[in-house]
Structure 1
Amino acid sequence: MKIRRFAAFGAAVAATALALSACQSPGSGSDDNGGDDEGLSQDTAVTFGWNQSFYEYNGDSSTGNATANAIVLYLMNSAFRYFDEDLNIAQDTSFGTYEKTSDDPLTVEYTVNDDVAWSDGTPVDAADMLLSWAATSGHFNTLADEEVETDEEGNVTNQGDNVYFSGTSVASSYIIPTPEISEDGKTITLVYDRPFADWEQGFGIGVPAHVVAMHALGIDDATEAKEALIDAINNDDTEALAAISQFWNEGFQFGDSLPDDESLYLSNGAYLLTDFVRDQYVTLERNPDYNGDRPANVERVTIRYNGDPMASLQALQNGEVDVIEPQATTDILQAAEALGEDFTVLTGDAATYEHIDLAQNNGGPFDPAAYGGDAAIARDVREAFLLLIPREDIVDTLIRPLNPEANVRQTNLAVPSAPNYDAIVAANGYEEAFPAVVDQSSIDRATQLLTDAGVTTPIDVRIMTDSLNTRRQNQLQIISDTVNASGLFSIVDASNADWGALLSDTSQYDAAIFGWQSTGTGATNSDANYRPGAINNFYGYDNPEVTALLDEIAVTTDQDTVTELQGEMEAFLVQDAFGLPIYQHPGVDVYRNSIEGINPIALSPTVFWNYWEWDVTGDTAGEPTSEEATEEATE
């Protein structure tokens, strides 16, 4: 067996949930004409094992913002830029170009190439870019974030005739006024109302504008639909935008199988989505009309879903899948290394870090509303709870057997190997406020806080995490044992297999344990987690001083100054007892040696980033058929 260890990347990647990137030149023998099969691995298929099912095509919405969706969308759709294996930004000029034309005001022009089209034949153009801006800018919403009510799936239930797009982007929010579109409809000009350090990473294309407008406005012709959408945005037509925003929020959510309406899963990239069974698999096939620089070298890609890492490893051994990236445990690594010479194991720090966040907007134990609006009492209860999280025990029990050098992570803003990590940690105060080892002094401090607050103990706390993930369940058990033993809190297991879709519905939990996967190298990536109403701020967190520092970070180009500001900002998170970082995920990728070109990076989409370099040199697993899925469902 070949085992290759790869070191953690040193880039200062920040925490967020979603990514769409990749890089380098096409694999040897590939050409720029998607209709020419020279260099293509004929009749080839690669099957991946993954832990969470694809469930939504709109990766920019609050419900669709997840890595499980991003990896599929990455294979389906091209973009202006991507990250190479060294995490450098590269432009995909076969898709389009962008250029900063002014620094004062910051002005950027994006142009989509004439030959780029959606898989229904409709050109990709400035209408798609305009919709992406409008939907993620927040400028058109007439329903305030604090007024939004959602169901268990995170869908807005009180939108009515209001405009409300559920996704937000700090980059889009800084683009004012409404972007202008060129006469040929291929170029859009973005003018920022302030400098923005991460402008090159902050804008792209999401869902097809013509599909949204056709469904929302009842228009049959794609060209007319795009024109109507552009008019609605340019004229701030609330009636039309209300319908457009509602479809944008909910129209691309998948049920249990592939929608009958093919417009809900169009592609403009290397692969077409051809089959889907929720929680079982997706199948993608090479797009014959793709003519960009990164054509699919493998004809068919299937992703099979199983949240049990050991079951995924067993599927690899049984020939049911070819590549897996399971959540690593000691048992997984030992079992992977015992597979034999036909498999390769890659290990190193992954792009994800584990953390626990507390809901402050659900009437529960960490919400001021539970104490008559007294924010100080709620803060003290949050601090008392976090003092009892045994982070050192978690790392020592679950992570160090995989990575002996692992330590408790002490910041949400940088990976442990990043050059700014130590400086942020020195400034934020996590180590002093929340010691990693829970001892009697921790319990005494927590007891005093709750006594002074006058709250009755024990306090029930519902913790939600992945019910199918072995390591997270072990982690929950370690936390429960320690917290329950204090007598101050009582842990209620609110684990759920659909935890990702439920994060936006804090009525389901009081604390959530999961991982943020880095999507880029920009300093503003964490903005989405802590700004009021931002896409990853599920918890109602709102500190004006944090928001002001986020604003300052966004316009600062000097890295040393950014680091200082990040330390200041995170100190407020510590003071507010927002939550705790726990550890950097250890990464394990395992694949059969008949697949070449597997080379994961420490950003989403991790192992999928260089799909055009994959090559099949021997036997691989076949993709599931609808008949197989029916059989599995009845067994």
Structure 2
Amino acid sequence: MVLSSPAVRPGRLARGVALVAAGALAAGALAGCAGKNQVPSIGYGVDAVVASYNGGTTLGASSGAAAVFPRVLTGFFYTGPDGQQVADTDTGTAKEVPGETQTIQYRLNPDGIWSDGTPTACDDLVLAWAARGGRFTTPGPGGPVPLFGTASTAGYSDIERVECQPGSKDATVSFRPGRKYAAWKTLFAAGELMPAHVAASAANVSDVVSAVQGGEPGAVERIADFWNNGWTLTPGKLDASVLPSSGPYRIESFTSDDGLVLVKNEKWWGNAAKTPRIVVWPKDFDLKSKLSDNAVGVLDIGAGSLADAELGGFSVQNLPGRGAEQLVLSTGGVFSSAEARRALALCTPRQDLYDKLGHPDFEASGGLGSGPLNSRTLQQDSLYYPSVTGAANRYLNSDVAAAQQALGAARVQNPTIRIGYLAPDARRAQTVQLIADACRPAGITVVDSGGPDFAPAQLAEGRVDALLGGTASLPGPSGSLPGVDAAAALRGGQGLNFGRFDNPRYDAISDQLATEENSTTVLNLLTEQENLLWNEMPSIPLLATPRTIAFGDGMENGIANPAKAGAGWNMDRWVLQR
């Protein structure tokens, strides 16, 4: 086993790994002459959960679809190894058109075709916008309720219209006047363009574009019902007819015994996948046993999460991730007051957690992983980070007296806090134990409520009081350079906001930051935002989630990606020589 020590920033690390991969490619070619053969199937173990094909739904986004399907459902951009948005010209091109109103011209690849033989079309963009724009609602007891169960409307809600002729390869996306959305490259990206023709067929409409443009309630409701539920994935209950692929791999099967099997998409128009078959082993498939059975060739997990896992035969890297390891707190029940939430934060030993769990086998002198994480929405290598996170200093070390005082102000006595996470996870279990030990003297009882069936929705349902996970409550790979998910997870009414935090001022700041270009204004807004969040305490940031990414000996083109796309971001380039 080889452990790297990424004291360099992830960008330099990724480029270094790319050079190593290139060297491995050359070495592999020589080794091939010495009698090594390419392995036809590679197992990919990742601590995400396969729950939905549709990464735009709350279920899909919060279970980690972005780490499982980046090369199955492609988009105009994908999340690269630095967490940045990278153009995917195999899907098509996206060009910002000069003008007073922000306008993006999208042109799908003329050769683009879904694996069921249906050409890709601008209809797919219209479906994504209709689902994620928040335009379509139905009456509810407390007011209008969104028809689509979307994870986030960020960016899509700023779009005023999508001009598209049904079946065309061209779409013009126009944003609302005065809204110049800076992170527009996060829209219509990998995992977000679902097959509109499948939704149209299921909803019994001629095409999605006409239904959306006409705004016919019945038709849109049927489309929404399928978009919400029709792409849910359950082992042994796969309907391949609704799962066409737009990437180099497609789903062949999904069972409890054989995992999620991806095979070459014969209709793919780009460079063919180098390995015919990838078997995805999600976290709930007992990754440790899969390692013991030699069923895994690539592993992407939280560092320290698999206690005593044997990684002989792998080249292993531990590195800081783009995800924010954090406690997401309920805003109801025992945590219905900000004072009660602050009490838990005041006794949580953030510095101690970082010292013991935050930098396994690496030392970062600056940037990601260089200390406790002091922001929920900013990453440690942001230029603004040092200037706006001063409010976090009060919550660095456990302060029992201050926690007791906050409990008194909240009029809460001897509370019991249930912390949930997807188990087994040795590092998160240790995190909960350290918090429990530190908070016990303050009269706070912390209970480990982690389990193999845990899902973030349990926080919203009141089954736990806090959730331990990554950015947007993901169990596995999370985070990206634009940070859109991190901001959305705190916004009122968003699917990813499992704690149900609702603060109009935060929402207004988030809205302005999404389009603000003046650096002084951004600095002031970020400072106000950080002060607000540390006062209201909807979550407690702990550290940049450390990741372990391991490639089997003989792997070519394995490049670590400690962001939400995970190590599988370029799985179609993997070659394993044995």
User: The TM-score by the shorter chain falls in which range?
Assistant: 0.7 to 0.9
Alpha-carbon distance in 2 for matches of 1:454, 1:209: 52
Whether 2:567 is the aligned partner of 1:607: answer yes
CA-CA distance at 1:511 after TM superposition:
1.0
Match of 2:448 in 1: 493
Alpha-carbon distance in 2 for matches of 1:606, 1:79: 16
Whether 2:221 is the aligned partner of 1:237: answer no
Correspondence for 1:551 among 511, 518, 538: 511
Residues 594-633 of structure 1: matches in 2 within 5 Å? 594-618=554-578
Q: Report the residue type matching 2:407 in the other structure.
A: L
Alpha-carbon distance in 2 for matches of 1:286, 1:42: 16
CA-CA distance at 1:119 after TM superposition:
1.3
Correspondence for 1:107 among 103, 106, 126: 103
CA-CA distance at 1:544 after TM superposition:
1.5
Alpha-carbon distance in 2 for matches of 1:402, 1:2: 11
Correspondence for 1:203 among 184, 188, 193: 188
Match of 1:621 in 2: none
Question: Do the aligned partners of 2:303 and 2:318 also contact (CA within 8 Å) in 1?
Answer: no
CA-CA distance at 1:42 after TM superposition:
6.8
Question: Do the aligned partners of 1:81 and 1:92 also contact (CA within 8 Å) in 2?
Answer: yes
With over 3 angstroms needed to count, the CA separation of the structure-2 counterparts of 1:105 and 1:583, relative to structure 1, is same
CA-CA distance at 1:184 after TM superposition:
5.7
Residues 142-157 of structure 1: matches in 2 within 5 Å? 142-143=138-139
Alpha-carbon distance in 2 for matches of 1:559, 1:609: 32
Residues 120-135 of structure 1: matches in 2 within 5 Å? 120-135=116-131
Correspondence for 2:318 among 338, 342, 347: 347
Deviations 1:80-129 (A, max 9, x none): 12344455543222221111123311011112122211111111111111
Moved more, 83-92 or 265-274: 83-92
Match of 1:35 in 2: none
Alpha-carbon distance in 1 for matches of 2:382, 2:68: 29
* Sequence identity percentage: 24
Question: Do the aligned partners of 1:403 and 1:586 also contact (CA within 8 Å) in 2?
Answer: no
Alpha-carbon distance in 2 for matches of 1:7, 1:280: 38
Alpha-carbon distance in 2 for matches of 1:9, 1:143: 49
CA-CA distance at 1:290 after TM superposition:
0.6
Match of 1:370 in 2: none
Residues 38-53 of structure 1: matches in 2 within 5 Å? 44-53=40-49
Residues 529-544 of structure 1: matches in 2 within 5 Å? 529-544=489-504
Deviations 1:592-634 (A, max 9, x none): 212211111232212112223322221xxxxxxxxxxxxxxxx
Residues 405-484 of structure 1: matches in 2 within 5 Å? 405=364, 406-426=370-390, 429-432=391-394, 434=395, 436-438=396-398, 442-455=399-412, 457-484=413-440
CA-CA distance at 1:215 after TM superposition:
1.5
CA-CA distance at 1:296 after TM superposition:
0.8
Alpha-carbon distance in 2 for matches of 1:357, 1:407: 20
What SS does structure 1 have at the residue aligned with 2:496? coil
Match of 2:341 in 1: 382
Please list every run of 5 or more consecutive structure 1 residues that lacks an aligned counterpart in the other structure: 12-22, 29-40, 149-158, 368-377, 619-635
Alpha-carbon distance in 1 for matches of 2:423, 2:543: 20
Alpha-carbon distance in 1 for matches of 2:86, 2:341: 43
CA-CA distance at 1:458 after TM superposition:
1.2
Question: Do the aligned partners of 2:71 and 2:570 also contact (CA within 8 Å) in 1?
Answer: no
With over 3 angstroms needed to count, the CA separation of the structure-2 counterparts of 1:246 and 1:143, relative to structure 1, is farther
Deviations 1:555-578 (A, max 9, x none): 113456434422221211111122
Alpha-carbon distance in 2 for matches of 1:495, 1:187: 47
Alpha-carbon distance in 2 for matches of 1:145, 1:531: 21
With over 3 angstroms needed to count, the CA separation of the structure-2 counterparts of 1:557 and 1:518, relative to structure 1, is farther
What SS does structure 2 have at the residue aligned with 1:64? helix
Alpha-carbon distance in 2 for matches of 1:410, 1:530: 16
CA-CA distance at 1:297 after TM superposition:
0.7
Correspondence for 1:247 among 220, 226, 237: 226
Deviations 1:419-457 (A, max 9, x none): 33212323xx1112x2x221xxx22222223334433x1
What SS does structure 2 have at the residue aligned with 1:507? coil
Alpha-carbon distance in 1 for matches of 2:141, 2:248: 37
CA-CA distance at 1:329 after TM superposition:
2.4
CA-CA distance at 1:330 after TM superposition:
9.6
Moved more, 245-254 or 86-95: 86-95
Alpha-carbon distance in 1 for matches of 2:88, 2:513: 28
CA-CA distance at 1:64 after TM superposition:
1.2
CA-CA distance at 1:269 after TM superposition:
0.6
CA RMSD of aligned residues (A): 3.1
Deviations 1:358-380 (A, max 9, x none): 1114xx1112xxxxxxxxxx121
Match of 1:323 in 2: 298
Residues 199-348 of structure 1: matches in 2 within 5 Å? 199-204=184-189, 205-217=192-204, 224=206, 226=207, 229-259=208-238, 261-278=239-256, 281-293=259-271, 295-306=272-283, 312=287, 315-316=290-291, 318-329=293-304, 336=311, 339=312, 342-348=313-319
With over 3 angstroms needed to count, the CA separation of the structure-2 counterparts of 1:587 and 1:499, relative to structure 1, is same
Match of 2:31 in 1: none
Question: Do the aligned partners of 1:85 and 1:601 also contact (CA within 8 Å) in 2?
Answer: yes
Q: Report the residue type matching 1:276 in the other structure.
A: F
CA-CA distance at 1:518 after TM superposition:
4.4
CA-CA distance at 1:72 after TM superposition:
2.3
Correspondence for 1:62 among 51, 58, 63: 58
Whether 2:551 is the aligned partner of 1:591: answer yes
Deviations 1:179-203 (A, max 9, x none): 2114762212111111111122233
Please list every run of 5 or more consecutive structure 2 residues that lacks an aligned counterpart in the other structure: 12-17, 24-36, 365-369, 472-476
Alpha-carbon distance in 1 for matches of 2:501, 2:330: 8
Match of 1:627 in 2: none
What SS does structure 1 have at the residue aligned with 2:224? helix
Alpha-carbon distance in 1 for matches of 2:58, 2:157: 16
CA-CA distance at 1:284 after TM superposition:
0.6
With over 3 angstroms needed to count, the CA separation of the structure-2 counterparts of 1:88 and 1:533, relative to structure 1, is closer
Deviations 1:378-418 (A, max 9, x none): 12122122212122232233335534555211111233233
Question: Do the aligned partners of 2:247 and 2:265 also contact (CA within 8 Å) in 1?
Answer: yes
Alpha-carbon distance in 1 for matches of 2:565, 2:141: 29
Alpha-carbon distance in 2 for matches of 1:330, 1:239: 47
With over 3 angstroms needed to count, the CA separation of the structure-2 counterparts of 1:254 and 1:335, relative to structure 1, is closer
Alpha-carbon distance in 2 for matches of 1:330, 1:238: 47
Whether 2:134 is the aligned partner of 1:138: answer yes
Question: Do the aligned partners of 1:391 and 1:582 also contact (CA within 8 Å) in 2?
Answer: yes
With over 3 angstroms needed to count, the CA separation of the structure-2 counterparts of 1:494 and 1:313, relative to structure 1, is closer
Whether 2:464 is the aligned partner of 1:509: answer yes
What SS does structure 2 have at the residue aligned with 1:103? coil
Question: Do the aligned partners of 2:38 and 2:577 also contact (CA within 8 Å) in 1?
Answer: no
Alpha-carbon distance in 2 for matches of 1:214, 1:446: 56
CA-CA distance at 1:533 after TM superposition:
0.9
Q: Report the residue type matching 1:495 in the other structure.
A: G
> What is the aligned length?
545
Match of 1:631 in 2: none
Alpha-carbon distance in 2 for matches of 1:271, 1:88: 23
Whether 2:312 is the aligned partner of 1:366: answer no
CA-CA distance at 1:314 after TM superposition:
6.5
Whether 2:334 is the aligned partner of 1:391: answer no
